[in-house]
Amino acid sequence: MKYVRMPIEIESPEEQGYDTIRFNLSESSMRDRKLSDLGLGFDDLLLMYGVHRGAPGLRALIAKQANVAEADVLTTAGAAGALFIIATTLLDKGDHLVVVRPNYATNIETPRAIGCDIAYVDLKFEEGFRLDIDRLEALIRTNTKLISVTTPHNPTGVALKEAHLKRLIAVAEKRGVHLLVDETYREMSFVPKLPVAASLSPHAISVASMSKSYGIPGIRVGWIVNRDPKLMERFLAAKEQIGICGSIVDEHIAEAALKQSAGWLGSVERTNREALATVEAWLGKEPRLEWVRPEGGCVCFPRIKAGAGIDTDRFYRALQTDHATAVGPGHWFEQDRRFMRIGFGWPLPAELSGGLAAISASLDGARR
Ligand SMILES: Cc1ncc(COP(=O)(O)O)c(C=O)c1O
């Protein structure tokens, strides 16, 4: 494995220091919650090794939501841990995979660290960031091991339609390839929510976590769902070699949060829709930017128009230095820096409005 730190991690607010940021529009989750919000009293929790596949109560809740059996669920250290287990289990140096770009960085970086042969399906702004399944299929070779997609997508917020997901599954089945569907944003959707991909076929591997819609990324709880018992055994072997089991404390908190999911997700949806409306209203009055309206998640990926006469480097300098405002610049996603990811779910309303105004002011100051 050739590990290289990713810009999105090096430049993340937790690494830079939250106290250096006034308006934080760089997050990709909903607002973080306090432990006390969950009303847990767990002084008596025995801090033993946990069940290796994950706490049975937690797995039962995940399985119910996913419409699969408990045996089809393996908990992991966040969705990031799930993606790492899947990549290192399925892929060896030189193996071929097809992956969507841009993407949550790990979906690309771990296969790269393994030394895989990667074919990219590039999403294009001009095509509304739509995944072209014909183009994807044309990249599959006889030795392709994995297709990797994310929906709702980070950083664009674009979501697959159910017919497209089913077509991808049919392609994976026909070509005998595993299909990884990163569904970390599944619970946050402005369009009808898709079924969990893994519930539709043993070829599909679904990944999600407690980090984004539940706003508790500080507990590192995610999961893999898959209906192929032999494959799940290999994923379990990887988990055991990395860390034996999950954290008892984290899984206890995750279970409590999932039990409260109905009320919590309802309020998340209301907050998220209001925040999206704020961004949409601002963009309506900001002629130097263009965007594709997101269909899910809590981020969008607008860009500075090519003819807007803006010096991109000066823009980012002003944003950071004069306005202490953080967004996710395009290079976090291997894209032109004219793109920026704006996270609208995490900031409170005043912070969101302040941050959007700071972007406009920085554009004013960066005219060529
Ligand atoms: C699409 C996607 N997958 C996975 C992750 C990892 O999330 P976590 O490990 O916190 O569950 C992220 C985080 O930004 C993400 O956006």
In tens, the pLDDT along 83-108 reads 999 999 999 999 999 999 999 999 99
**Helix-helix angle 312-321:349-365, to 10 degrees:** 140
362 lines ligand 1 (CB under 6 A): no
What is the CATH classification number for the domain harbouring 325? 3.90.1150.10
Q: Which residues of the chain have pLDDT under 50?
A: none
Q: In 3D, which of 234, 235, 244, 224 has the Cα closest to residue 48? A: 244
CA–CA distance, 298 with 28 (Å, rounded to integer): 6
* Cα dihedral across residues 125, 148, 110, 157: positive or negative: positive
Q: Does residue 33 lie in a domain region?
A: no
What is the CATH classification number for the domain harbouring 154? 3.40.640.10
132-143 in b/e form (b: 16+ CB < 10 A) is: ebeebbebbeee
Q: How far is the CA of 184 from the centre of ligand 1 (A)?
A: 6
154 lines ligand 1 (CB under 6 A): yes
Which residue has a Cα nearest atom 7 of ligand 1? 79
Q: Are 246 and 287 within one domain? A: no
Which residue in this structure is represented by tokens 């379990």?
Answer: 236
Q: Are 130 and 167 within one domain? A: yes
CA–CA distance, 252 with 18 (Å, rounded to integer): 28
Q: Name 122's bridge partners.
A: 101
CA–CA distance, 266 with 289 (Å, rounded to integer): 31
pLDDT of residue 41: 86
pLDDT of residue 295: 98
Domain range for residue 344? 7-28+262-365
Q: Does residue 122 lie in a domain region?
A: yes
Which residue has a Cα nearest atom 12 of ligand 1? 104
Q: Are 323 and 356 within one domain? A: yes
330 lines ligand 1 (CB under 6 A): no
Q: Does residue 1 lie in a domain region?
A: no
Which residue in this structure is represented by tokens 């990219």?
Answer: 120
